[in-house]
Amino acid sequence: MSLARAVAMGLAPVLLANAPSVEPFLLANYVVRSDTYGREPGHRFRALWVSRTQSLVDNRGGAWLATDLRGRRVRWLPDVAEGKPWSPVDPVAFDALVREVTTCAPELAGFSGDVFPSEIVEFPRGRVVSFYIRRQTVANNPWQAFFLSSMVLQLDGRCLSLGEVPRELDVETDSVSRTFWDIVSFRGDEYVVISRHGYEHAELEAYRVEGSRLTLVLQRYIGGL
């Protein structure tokens, strides 16, 4: 068993906010067998009618986007110590998405120059803008950075965020990437379901919609190497 898996199993499952009844429902409907991890999140958009998805990530050649020590948005290639300056194809649209993120998640105002929108999912009740923040913190080491993978939701006229801020970590081994998965109703409540992938493991996460806020109710390790 890898160290990452042992740590994940030690910390999870995490069940919060007095919502034990939703866990078996989510595991039954959003977990599938996986050749890679044994089990992983599945059945994306099983409940939500989605009209459009748009990926915004430029990862050709295994590259990633980040902000370097000079505050530049750069495109990094694997095994390269310094990134090359990068700018979006449509700066107006890019800046509008960054404003949407930081307006909906004011706790990220100090990281507005480090936000990289990664996906838009549109549906009749609104849309989700997924994004990540990656700001280099150590010279000659593109992996050490402030990092956060998260999303904001426009839902029935409300603007909702997960309420987290970036942490400094080793992105290669300690980061977790989120993907918006679904919005599902269960016993009178609505839940935002999220797929999470970390170093050699997969997780399932759920937030209960409570008016104008989201409350974390489930964070569950479901498979790994």
- At 77 the pLDDT is 87
Cβ atoms 150, 180 nearer than 8 A: no
Kindly report, residue by residue over 55-112, the tens digit of the pLDDT: 998 787 788 999 999 999 999 988 777 899 999 999 999 999 999 999 999 999 999 9
- At 20 the pLDDT is 56
Task: Outline where the chain has alpha helix (H).
Answer: 3-11, 22-30, 91-104, 171-174
**Preceding amide of 142 cis, omega within 30:** no
- Strands in 13-155 per DSSP E: 14-15, 31-34, 38-41, 52-55, 64-67, 73-76, 84-85, 115-123, 126-138, 141-155
**What is the distance between the alpha carbons of residues 54 and 94, in angstroms, rounded to a whole number?**
13
- At 8 the pLDDT is 40
**What is the distance between the alpha carbons of residues 61 and 44, in angstroms, rounded to a whole number?**
26
Domains in the chain, number = 1
- At 11 the pLDDT is 39
- At 80 the pLDDT is 78
pTM tops 0.85, yes or no = yes
Domain extent at residue 203:
3-224
Q: Which residues of the chain have pLDDT under 50?
A: 1-19
**What is the distance between the alpha carbons of residues 135 and 193, in angstroms, rounded to a whole number?**
27
- At 197 the pLDDT is 95
